[in-house]
Every structure is written in structure tokens, then in C-alpha cells.
Amino acid sequence: MMEDRVAAIRAGTAPEMVWLLEHPPLYTAGTSADPAELTDPDRFPVHKTGRGGRYTYHGPGQRVGYVMLDLKRRGEDVRAFVCDLENWIIQALARFNVTGERRDG
């Protein structure tokens, strides 16, 4: 579903989109995920993704945002884009009197 949307955005046949949602308990497995890292692999479903990194837990109470934008329209500098996105989120949180911060790593 997400992959289809991203392909359509790249092709210019669909508008850009941001999904804000809450997952049921699950893990997403990045390209560096090692199954031996999961101490209880049957506890929650595992969904393989094309992103970098290892495992990430998602579950109730955790809000997740999926940003599907055409980076070619934004200069293709992924690091600058992520920094801008972090700044935008920090500023949005501040409007709700919630302190956001950027951490190295």
C-alpha cells in the first residue's frame, strides 16, 4: 500500500501525503535487522521494510508519521530534509506546550 503510493508520487500521478497513525503492537525490521536480536520473536508480528536500520517497536500510545514526499522537488538532500522535518515537528509540538528535542545518533 505505502510502496504503491510512493511509486505513484514518484511518477507524478498522486499527490504527496503524510500519514499520522498508531500501530497495534508490532516490529518493523530494517535492512540490518538480525532475527537473533529479538528475544521473543513470536510475541508481535514482524514487518520487513526497505528502510535502513534494525528493529523498531511500534504500539498503542505511540504516534507514527510516514512522510511520502518527492525529495527531488526539495533538492534531494536527505539529511537537510530530515533536519527540516525535525524542526517542523519540534515547532508543532511547542504549539501544544510539548517540548521536543533533537538528539545525535
- Give the cell for residue 77: 538532500
**27 and 61 belong to one structural domain:** yes
**Cα-to-chain-centroid distance, residue 74:** 18
Considering its fold, how many domains does the chain have in total? 2
Q: pLDDT digit string (tens) for 33-55?
A: 999 999 998 999 999 998 899 99
Task: Please name the helix (run of DSSP H) or strand (run of DSSP E) that holds residue 67, with its range, or none.
Answer: strand 64-68
Domain with 83, as residue range(s), is 75-105
Could you give the count of Cα atoms lying within 13 Å of 15 in the half-sphere of its Cβ?
A: 3
Summarize the confidence of residues 18-24 as an average pLDDT: 92
Report the predicted TM-score, pTM, of the whole model to 2 decimal places: 0.68
- Please check whether residues 22 and 67 belong to one and the same domain: yes
Q: Mean pLDDT across the stretch 56-83? A: 88
What's the pLDDT at 105?
A: 67
Helix (H, G, I), strand (E, B) or coil at 32: coil
Task: Answer yes or no: do 79 and 99 share one domain.
Answer: yes
Question: HSE (CB half, 13 Å, CA atoms) of 100?
Answer: 13
